[in-house]
Amino acid sequence: MKKTVIILTTFVVLVSCNNSEKTKTTSDAQVSEQISETTKRQKLILELKKLRQTIASNDEEKIADIFEFPLSDESFSIYIDDNSFNEQFKSNGNKITRTMFLEHYKSISESIWLDQLKSLFHNIAIDSLDHKDTLVYEAYRKTEPCFYSYQIELNKDIVTLRMNMNSNRNYESKTISEEEIPENSSEICEHNFWWIFKFDGNKLHLESISGAG
């Protein structure tokens, strides 16, 4: 009887120790994964800060380095009313080269809402991404017919920078055309634009630029 009790006791102790080791191993793995994700997020925040610095520099060459040329019209919505640009664009197989980008920088920067991207970084505290996946700021002014809103959204390894132009519904509008279209009309005020990046764990890669409205 004593032998049976000793054997059972030993078995229980061994099972308990084994479960304890498994729990410890699982716990260590979870902690390691959390540390890895935290480190990855910090790297992403650092890359966004570098991007902010580049955009704020107004340095055409540095800003061109954000892009991986040539740029296809399928991924990058860049429209310029310039015959020279359009001829080059067609001759390059509907693609924009770095030379074209720099040559027509002023018009392209307007087309891709570069100034609004500067405003996004100016108004949103990037460090808050340490504990949030989405950050939003509205530059609302009650005396203006339109206003901008900005958003940074993280979805796994995809980073989306959104810049939206919105109608101020509370604005007492005056007509601005013979058709009597109000200043805060959706036709005038409502436009959306976004830059999409992919984060590989170390660097941001610009995937596309697009817009609507």
Place of tokens 């810049």: 163
Asked whether residue 145 carries a pLDDT value surpassing 80, the answer given is yes
Model confidence, pTM: 0.81
Average pLDDT over residues 22-49: 73
Q: What is the CA 202 to chain-centroid distance, rounded?
A: 15
- Residue 131: burial class (beta carbons within 10 Å; 0-12, 13-18, 19+): exposed
Q: What is the pLDDT of residue 22?
A: 59
Distance, CA of 66 to CA of 55 (rounded, Å): 9
Please determine, for residue 30, whether its predicted confidence score (pLDDT) is greater than 80.
no
Q: Give the residue-averaged pLDDT of 173-194.
A: 85
Q: What is the pLDDT of residues 78-121, one digit of tens each?
A: 999 999 999 999 999 999 999 999 999 999 999 999 999 999 99
Q: Determine the pLDDT at residue 71.
A: 98
Burial class (CB in 10 A: 0-12, 13-18, 19+), 40: middle
Mean pLDDT of 43-50: 98
Q: Residue 173: what pLDDT?
A: 80
Burial class (CB in 10 A: 0-12, 13-18, 19+), 142: exposed
The rounded Cα 180 to chain-centroid distance in angstroms is 37
As a whole number of angstroms, the distance between CA 181 and CA 177 comes to: 6
Alpha-carbon distances, residue 40 vs 37, 179, 185 (angstroms): 5, 53, 43
| Angle ∠(34,132,208) on CA atoms, nearest 5 | 100
| Overall residue count recorded for the chain in this entry | 213
197 within 8 A of 207, measured Cβ to Cβ: yes
